[in-house]
Amino acid sequence: MHKVDLRKIYNFYPLDQKADPGNLPTGGDVYYECHECRGIVSSVTFIKAACECGNLEGNKGEVTVKEPARVTVVRGRLK
């Protein structure tokens, strides 16, 4: 698994809406930020990705969130 610091490529902004932890939004520009380790994973990642503490793990267009209450949904914009 490659370690890519997405903050070097994107600026991240929290979504205005309050996300339901049981039904997190997805999309090409939607990312999840882990409160514990500050890792960021795309909501529809097609490469194997995970945050350092293991709360977020994704591959093949899907992300598993172990503790949704510890996640902030953000929108990424290219710098």
Q: Domain locations in the chain?
A: 6-78
Q: What average pLDDT does this structure show over 43-54?
A: 94
Q: For residues 70 and 63, what is the distance between their CA atoms, to the nearest angstrom?
A: 14
* H helix or E strand, kind and range, residue 41: strand 40-42
Nearest to 51 by CA among 40, 64, 63: 40
Q: What average pLDDT does this structure show over 2-21?
A: 82
| Whether the model pTM is above 0.75 | yes
Q: What average pLDDT does this structure show over 58-63?
A: 94
